[in-house]
Chain A
């Protein structure tokens, strides 16, 4: 019995195991859009690493893992290092477990600065050094803000650059269907005043303007935090935003409560949201954008980060079936064009020649261009060829990123985990459920006071 079982298993294993080939996505030297010289230079400089192993832990799974593997293939090809990439659904917890138990990966890539700060303060990370800090400042657009994003206090209390920003997501985007806009005769709003007027016009025409969904399993509420952050940047100066993130400006402050109420203007009006205000808290954020493509359309606009097209119905063509515009700022307030973003940062957990080489690899334009040419990747690296962006939508997002007068990282990711991934989320669910903004702000502030 067991023998036949094992035989069957072996046969099945042979049948389903896909051949693991390391074919490069774009052949070196062939496509003029790519900076192949940077690849060849990197290859020449790191030939001595052959045969080493690099374990890497990151947040990308499923389709995203295929993308990151296609980048890692170039690193493998250039250095001969055996890169073992892995991820897991609960990577935030797992990286902490692994670090504390003394078996961390060589390189970790994480999207939460709050978590990275925690790892750095416990001495689990290796500082990247002054050269990298200087390089970031010179080669990334708005370099100083990226350096400060990657700098944390180490175990000794001194701040140093521990994390290398790589792959940026843009958050301040409103998605819509250009053809539905054309059918109804709507124009893309250039200011927040126009956006609010358009919202009211759609209602007057008998439609629903917005699809908003906050549901996300254990993380329910996070999409609303992005709304609030966007409105913080559109109603207050970036200075206040920075103070809010560190709690110098309290959650119960009128500035913050005002931003929450701006979100409420959109989300708490039954006429403005598909399914009514009651559906906001329960609709899954992954299903929410599908209303844009329903017949007749369930809504006309959806505010979400640049990753959301992966949840559009199959076959949706970006730029044609679906497009986006920048969530505009108030014309009446002189705050420029603020942009909210998020992103992933790479850090060294075990200081080996291979992990140092990987950080060097991230400095080459080719490590950015190959992902740009596929999907879902934005970079502030100035030396890349923007023609390499795989589709017009990405290129347009890249331009929004470069045209920003203010760039701020997702505030909830910068706050301590108990707030940014806890009280802030649940507070927003309460707010969507009808609680007053001032009460919600006071509740979150109480939670923050408790961990000080």
Chain B
């Protein structure tokens, strides 16, 4: 017994460790993204997020104040100031030529020529002393090596949320997503009930066709669909691009999976319940509304989560079916545009990932309790 128990515990450990490893593997990139989202653009360009948590030594370039700031002290012209821009930083070395940025240790005096001396102390204070009046409009460049403690800012979040139209885009995204989630569920639930519990000729073929529709690639059908919509819309006097179009598109692309999922789930419900309801004189509509629909809540909720996430994250369908103007731009489109004409401002992406994730998380947590509920929790009572 002991031996078996021992083996068992060793196995459990292995399971725990591998689970832990997998969790770390999955969350590490997210953690990196989170840390990156608090770093500024220039930091992101030069070092990885893992360096952000510890003090790092950096070679930096500063500039002394210009000649207009000089003061005359005991016959010498002096420009003084501080290079550092945050607490906890220390200067270890400095230089005044780009070729030798670390020539002098902090506190030493560098001879700039023409009777001028420069010194930088460890706390970043610099003093330029000159025998003659200092000329020239630009201050002396000072190269320095400094130990910089971790530094974080909310700038990326500010630029995502503060950009013109972010709020509007948020509302637009909800305007697209909520109907695009509810409409297919309503249609699919009816269809699934009919396909699962009503007998009519050609039912199996219809199911096969719907399953077959699952493989139609969205990318292929986008343009023909838009052309069709525009033609019908022009006939009926509906503007070419708008919310109705994208709701229909998302509904069409979501329906095959929705019907397939819900039908399989409903077909699995115990037939006795439905038959006893029939015996009691319930019509199909009553059975659907009173019995099947409440029992199918877990499946409805899980499809709702799928569809919501897919529509919320969608960029392609929105670009094609909605006008790209601010009035109809969805959040994903807005964020892509924030990256700039040449796509270089990718620091925006780090923050925007966490901004967009909020709504799907809310939806997931508010719907997931329906998933956990037992399948036949109600049917025992009903039976």
A13 pairs with B171, CB closer than 8 A: yes
B226 pairs with A101, CB closer than 8 A: yes
B59 pairs with A294, CB closer than 8 A: yes
Interface string of A101-114 (1 = CB under 8 A from B): 11100000000000
Residue of B nearest to A11 (CB): B167
Report which B residues bind A (CB closer than 8 A): 41-42, 45-46, 59-61, 97-101, 138, 141, 143, 161-168, 170-171, 174, 222-223, 226-227, 230-231, 234, 240-241, 319-320, 323-327, 329, 333, 336-345, 362, 366
A54-74 interface with B by 8 A CB criterion = 55, 57, 59-65
Q: CA separation between A64 and B345, bound complex, in Å?
A: 12
What's the least CB distance linking B96 to chain A, in Å?
A: 9
Which of A9, A97, A102, A103 has the most chain B CB atoms inside 10 A of its CB?
A103
A88 contacts partner chain B, Cβ-Cβ < 8 Å:
yes
Cβ–Cβ < 8 Å partners of B336 in chain A: 61, 88-89
A97 pairs with B226, CB closer than 8 A: yes
Known contacts A14-B167, A64-B340; 17 additional CB pairs below 8 A are A9-B170, A55-B323, A62-B339, A65-B341, A84-B327, A85-B325, A86-B329, A97-B226, A101-B230, A103-B226, A179-B98, A184-B99, A286-B344, A293-B61, A295-B101, A311-B342, A314-B42
A9 pairs with B227, CB closer than 8 A: no
A61 pairs with B223, CB closer than 8 A: no
Residue of B nearest to A320 (CB): B138
B342 pairs with A307, CB closer than 8 A: yes
Given contacts A84-B327, A86-B323, A86-B324, contact A59 B341 (CB under 8 A): yes
Residue of B nearest to A217 (CB): B343
A297 contacts partner chain B, Cβ-Cβ < 8 Å:
yes
What's the least CB distance linking A85 to chain B, in Å?
A: 8
Cβ–Cβ < 8 Å partners of B143 in chain A: 295-296
A12 contacts partner chain B, Cβ-Cβ < 8 Å:
yes
A10-35 interface with B by 8 A CB criterion = 10, 12-18, 20
Cβ–Cβ < 8 Å partners of B171 in chain A: 9-10, 13
For this complex, 8 residue pairs linking A to B, each with C-beta atoms less than 8 Å apart, are A64-B341, A65-B337, A88-B333, A89-B339, A101-B226, A177-B98, A290-B45, A296-B99
B338 pairs with A102, CB closer than 8 A: no
Cβ–Cβ < 8 Å partners of A89 in chain B: 336-337, 339, 343
What's the least CB distance linking A93 to chain B, in Å?
A: 9
What's the least CB distance linking A22 to chain B, in Å?
A: 12
Given contacts A18-B165, A97-B223, contact A86 B325 (CB under 8 A): yes
Q: What is the count of residue pairs linking A and B with beta-carbon distances less than 8 angstroms?
A: 138
A61 partner, pick from B99, B138, B168, B340, beta carbons under 8 A:
B340
A314 partner, pick from B41, B324, B333, beta carbons under 8 A:
B41
A86 pairs with B326, CB closer than 8 A: yes
A132 contacts partner chain B, Cβ-Cβ < 8 Å:
no
Counting from the closest, the 10 A-B pairs by CB-CB distance are A62-B340, A86-B324, A103-B240, A13-B167, A17-B167, A16-B167, A286-B344, A101-B226, A295-B59, A84-B325
B141 pairs with A179, CB closer than 8 A: yes
Cβ–Cβ < 8 Å partners of B41 in chain A: 314
Q: CA separation between A103 and B141, bound complex, in Å?
A: 56
A310 contacts partner chain B, Cβ-Cβ < 8 Å:
yes
B98 pairs with A184, CB closer than 8 A: yes
Which of B166, B168, B342 has the most chain A CB atoms inside 10 A of its CB?
B342
A247 contacts partner chain B, Cβ-Cβ < 8 Å:
no
A1 contacts partner chain B, Cβ-Cβ < 8 Å:
yes
Residue of A nearest to B144 (CB): A295
A79-106 interface with B by 8 A CB criterion = 84-90, 94, 97, 100-103
Which of B164, B324, B341 has the most chain A CB atoms inside 10 A of its CB?
B341
Given contacts A55-B323, A290-B45, contact A295 B174 (CB under 8 A): no
Interface string of A287-307 (1 = CB under 8 A from B): 100100111110000000001
Cβ–Cβ < 8 Å partners of A290 in chain B: 45-46
Residue of A nearest to B166 (CB): A16
Q: CA separation between A146 and B326, bound complex, in Å?
A: 33
A239 contacts partner chain B, Cβ-Cβ < 8 Å:
no
Q: CA separation between A10 and B234, bound complex, in Å?
A: 33
Which of A65, A102, A297 has the most chain B CB atoms inside 10 A of its CB?
A102
What's the least CB distance linking A422 to chain B, in Å?
A: 19
Q: CA separation between A314 and B362, bound complex, in Å?
A: 37
A287 partner, pick from B45, B326, B366, beta carbons under 8 A:
B45
A5 contacts partner chain B, Cβ-Cβ < 8 Å:
yes
Given contacts A9-B171, A313-B42, contact A17 B98 (CB under 8 A): no
Q: CA separation between A85 and B345, bound complex, in Å?
A: 21
What's the least CB distance linking A21 to chain B, in Å?
A: 10
Q: CA separation between A172 and B170, bound complex, in Å?
A: 42
Q: CA separation between A62 and B329, bound complex, in Å?
A: 14
Cβ–Cβ < 8 Å partners of A207 in chain B: 99
A183 contacts partner chain B, Cβ-Cβ < 8 Å:
yes
B319 partner, pick from A62, A88, A100, A180, beta carbons under 8 A:
A88
B362 partner, pick from A5, A86, A184, beta carbons under 8 A:
A5
A102 pairs with B170, CB closer than 8 A: no
Cβ–Cβ < 8 Å partners of B167 in chain A: 12-17
Q: CA separation between A63 and B341, bound complex, in Å?
A: 8
B99 pairs with A183, CB closer than 8 A: yes
A63 pairs with B340, CB closer than 8 A: yes
B60 partner, pick from A16, A179, A295, A320, beta carbons under 8 A:
A295
B99 pairs with A16, CB closer than 8 A: no
What's the least CB distance linking A54 to chain B, in Å?
A: 11
Cβ–Cβ < 8 Å partners of B46 in chain A: 290
Cβ–Cβ < 8 Å partners of B340 in chain A: 61-64, 310
A94 pairs with B319, CB closer than 8 A: yes
Q: CA separation between A440 and B241, bound complex, in Å?
A: 44
Q: CA separation between A294 and B166, bound complex, in Å?
A: 35
Cβ–Cβ < 8 Å partners of B326 in chain A: 84, 86
